[in-house]
Amino acid sequence: MVIAPLAACSTGGGSDGSQGTTTITFSYLWSGPEAESLEKIIADYNASQSEVKVIGVSSPDFQKQLTSMSSSNGSFDISDNFGDVVGSWASKGILAPLDDYNIDMSGFVPSSLTQMKYGGKTYSLPIAIHSQLLMYNKKMFADAGVQVPTTMDELADAALALTKTDADGNITQLGLGEAAPGATQRMIAAAFGGSWWDKDGQPTPLNDGNIQAMTWYQNLVNKIGPDKIAKFVAGYGQYQSDQDPFFSGKLAMRIDGEWNGVGIPKVAPGLEWGVITIPGASPQYKDTTEVTASTLFIPANSKHKEAAAKFLAYMVSPDAMKAFTVALGNMPALTSLLDSSADYSAIENFSAFADALKSPNAYAPSSAVSAGEYMTDLNKAFDSIASGNETPKKALEQVESRVSSYSK
């Protein structure tokens, strides 16, 4: 679906600050069951008061979202994305700062707010937080007689042992796959003590740990065969569907997030899977995880910011956040909810993901202005490394050569 041309309007002459009901549009990227859950929350909010009426629009098209926000007349008053876009978008002036509105900003998990600020102001708030760990197929491990890895060497050995090919050499089962381009490589680097950003959030592609990690990764790919992997990956089914390669038993391991605790029982109820933190290359790097946030924001071109802020405040309140995160299998961004584990106990492997947030090696990606450009270049480098076209050092040197040209 695309963003519907819904003009934000008011009944009874109402507009922000006046009497009557102000109608706002909430254009969100979720779809399917997630959108259904969100629509229920919207309905509950609309029924709870008469000041603001929210119309929900499922619009998963990121580019249309950005186009609307960049125009003089936007098509929505509140929307969602991930924390890594906040710095870039705020610097362009397309997000409204939230500090002047009556939104309680206390009680959030501290790491969930890392990406929410720019220039000393808050431009977005987290509705959910995510950690990514190593998921594995228990049956595949048992059938192959492979132990769950505790070191990066053991992880490489397990990935090789769990990769199967047919008589023609085509891969039929891959030991270690990925859920999203670049995510696996970024997180493996942390297991080697690497980091893609310095303490100020600026790019550091040539960090020694990054190069060690990408060398480990390229060696593993070369042992299996880059062309064979590329052919196998080209046949992947839709993520989180019954054709998802992890759900359908074609992947033995992948690094992925807590939302699988809801997705797998619905789509692949017979799948026996476990979760561990990514093994460290040495003990001081164990229990690494990347902490990201699903966020809500108000575009600067919204004509009903006050009304949108009231709804945003409701969305990040304990009751609404609990309903949203339990339905999606996400972790709540409020400390009080994260500690109330009983509400999330029915979600498979949820506690493993939640516990990972407490690790001293949990980190949040940078939301610096240059984050988008940097990620684009890193993903190109990762492709070159995986295909064997470049050595890790040379591929990352090419990224380094572009850092000075990034937006500031």
Using 50, 70 and 90 to split pLDDT, how confident is the model at 1?
A: very low
Q: What is the mean pLDDT of residues 76-89?
A: 94
Q: Is the pTM of this model over 0.75?
A: yes
Q: How far apart are CA 71 and CA 63, in angstroms?
A: 12
| CA 192 to each of CA 24, 146, 258, 371: distance values in angstroms, whole numbers, following the listed order | 47, 23, 23, 22
CA proximity to 253, closest of 355, 188, 191, 173: 173
Question: In this structure, which CATH number among 3.20.20.70, 3.40.309.10, 3.40.47.10, 3.40.190.10 belongs to the domain 131-290+364-403?
Answer: 3.40.190.10
- Listed by start position, the domains of the chain span 22-127+295-331, 131-290+364-403
22-127+295-331 with 131-290+364-403: one CATH topology? Answer: yes
More confident residue, 4 or 320: 320
Q: What is the mean pLDDT of residues 166-185?
A: 93
CA-based radius of gyration for the chain: 22
356, 189 Cβ separation under 8 angstroms: no
Question: In this structure, which CATH number among 3.20.20.140, 3.40.50.1980, 1.10.10.10, 3.40.190.10 belongs to the domain 22-127+295-331?
Answer: 3.40.190.10
pLDDT in tens, 195-207: 999 988 899 999 9
Using 50, 70 and 90 to split pLDDT, how confident is the model at 368?
A: confident
Q: How far apart are CA 111 and CA 94, in angstroms?
A: 24
Tell me what pLDDT residue 341 has. Answer: 67
| CA 351 to each of CA 138, 165, 169, 274: distance values in angstroms, whole numbers, following the listed order | 18, 35, 39, 12
Using a 10 angstrom Cβ sphere, with 0-12 exposed, 13-18 middle and 19 or more buried, the burial of residue 362 is: middle
Given a cut of 70, whether residue 377 has pLDDT beyond it is yes
